[in-house]
Amino acid sequence: MTLRWYTLVIDCHDVRKQAAWWAEAIGWKTIIESDEECVNIPGWVEPDTVKDIPWDRIGPGMVFVKVPEGKTVKNRLHLDFAPHTSQDRDAEIARLESLGARRADVGQPEDTSWTVLTDPEGNEFCVLSSREY
């Protein structure tokens, strides 16, 4: 028996705003939405599609839960995203910045092959160099 990575939970103040931001940023959709919790899943996922996929092959969703405290230190975990080699990495970073992402310095060297950004509530994530797979 193995466990399936079911969701990534993100603590935030404005769950609706965060869920909408991430849905736009990575092309997912919000399927559950309240003032206390929102759930995002990949944009291609539909009930008819998922029923034919083995349980352990379905990727995780993102859950946004409301918390009273703010973010105070660098995340211990973060998400890495990579554009395909057919995509313009710099244009993708510019698109994320136009949505409200900000560049962040978390101590990375200047000559890295990735860019550290933060979402609107300050959670770090990286855009890596373009990848074929």
| Segment 61-82, tens digit of pLDDT | 999 999 999 888 888 899 999 9
- Cα 89 to Cα 57, 84, 105, 113: the distances in Å are 28, 8, 19, 11
What is the pLDDT, as a whole number, of residue 1?
A: 58
What is the pLDDT, as a whole number, of residue 33?
A: 96
State the span(s) of the chain assigned CATH 3.30.720.120.
7-66
Q: Over pLDDT 70: what percentage of the chain?
A: 99
Say if residue 15's pLDDT is above 70.
Answer: yes
Q: Cα separation of 22 and 62, whole Å?
A: 9
What is the pLDDT, as a whole number, of residue 63?
A: 97
Domain 7-66: CATH class, spelled out = alpha beta
Q: Cα separation of 117 and 103, whole Å?
A: 4
Q: Write the CATH number of the domain with boundaries 79-127.
A: 3.30.720
